[in-house]
Amino acid sequence: MALLIWFNGELLEEKDIRISPFDHGFLYGDGVFEGIRAYNGRIFKCWEHIDRLYESAHTLMIDIPLSKKEMVEAMKKTLRANELRDAYIRLVVSRGRGDLGIDPRRCDRGPTIVIIATGLALYPEELYEKGLKVVTANTRRIPADSFNPRVKSLNYLNNIMGKIEANNYGVPEAIMLTDNGIVCECTADNLFFVKNGTVVTPPTWLPILDGITRKTILWLCGELDIPHKEDCFTLHDIYNADEMFLCGTGAELIPVIEVDGRTVGDGTPGPIFRKILEHFRVYANSHGEPIYED
């Protein structure tokens, strides 16, 4: 069965979808997106993702013509049409078709909306067991007063530059810093470390994405009575951490065992990471917006 994709209100096969070369998502990266997961027949953190999508769009002054409820219905419809219970969902809203100038006012036909739901594309299980090696990117995170990375926009070139550096070093991820060397996040994941039993992650006023997995982990730490805080820190702190891990909708939670050639902790995924991962998996498989119940 060919994959059915939601495109401006219709479910179509990829070959039947046409997006204009004048679409400002294509011409300028002018738009927003979300990456969402469904586990076991439920959309995990559905409304949190929808809220973030609409907030990103509001900041960019893109008026999404669907209500949040209609957007969730469209997502469910797409999942049902493809008979999916465990899936990765990509929701994309571009500013739509305009002319060759950047002026958003020329995009007067409204946004282009696409929902893709596919099977899962996890990192190999081996990496969750063994952990990743990462490097620090020379490319700095865009300062929040230039363009706030809390907007999950279609313009990911800052992150892609970081990813190219990771690729050039032959590692799966790269750490990105602020322009004065404060640790922010990786190219598509938030970052945590553990020192003396306390879980630490950068605060969202730094130029990072306000990640939904990140927020879930902070909440889980509270539930599990694990000391945790949001704080600013440098590479020295993570080189000398007891444990480190990354998190995001795509990667879920993944341990880091080496940063810039320095072994983190004892070079294996640590006990606090394992505890959080175990509880995260149970929680993710039992909570969320049901896809098939109405």
Complex with ligand PXG: residue 78 or 216, whichever CB lies closer:
216
CA distance 123 to 253: 11
Told to check if 104 binds ligand PXG by CB under 6 A, we report no
Q: Does 249 bind ligand PXG (CB under 6 A)?
A: yes
d(CA 54, CA 60): 10
DSSP assignment of 231-281, as one string? ----HHHHHT-SEEEEEETTTEEEEEEEETTEEPTTSS--HHHHHHHHHHH
Contact with ligand PXG (CB under 6 A) among 31, 98, 202, 248: 248
Which of the ranges 130-138, 187-195, 197-205, 270-278 carries the binding residues for ligand PXG, by CB under 6 A? 187-195
Nearer to ligand PXG (CB atom), residue 118 or residue 263? 118
Whether the Cβ atoms of residue 29 and residue 155 lie closer than 8 Å to each other = yes
Rounded CA separation 204/198 (Å):
18
Q: Rule CB under 6 A: is residue 136 a binding residue for ligand PXG?
A: no
- Interface residue with ligand PXG, options 189, 193, 264, 269 (CB under 6 A): 189
Q: Which is nearer to ligand PXG, 107 or 177 (CB)?
A: 177
195 is catalytic: no
Q: Which of 7, 44 has the CB closer to ligand PXG? A: 44
Q: What is the size of the binding site for ligand PXG (CB under 6 A)? A: 15
Give the H/E segment covering residue 88. Answer: strand 87-94
Catalytic residue selected from 45, 76, 152, 163: 152
Q: Which residue is nearest to ligand PXG (CB)?
A: 250
Euclidean distance between CA atoms 156 and 142, whole angstroms = 11
Residue 250 within binding range of ligand PXG, rule CB under 6 A: yes
Beta strands in 95-242 (DSSP E): 112-118, 132-136, 173-177, 183-186, 190-195, 198-201, 228-230
Measured from the CB atom, the residue of 44 and 97 that comes closer to ligand PXG is: 44
Check residue 104 and give left, alpha or beta (phi > 0: left; psi -120 to 50: alpha).
alpha
Per CB under 6 A, does 139 bind ligand PXG? no
- Binding-site ranges for ligand PXG (CB under 6 A): 35, 159, 185, 188-190, 209, 211-214, 248-251
The residues annotated with a catalytic role in the active site are 152
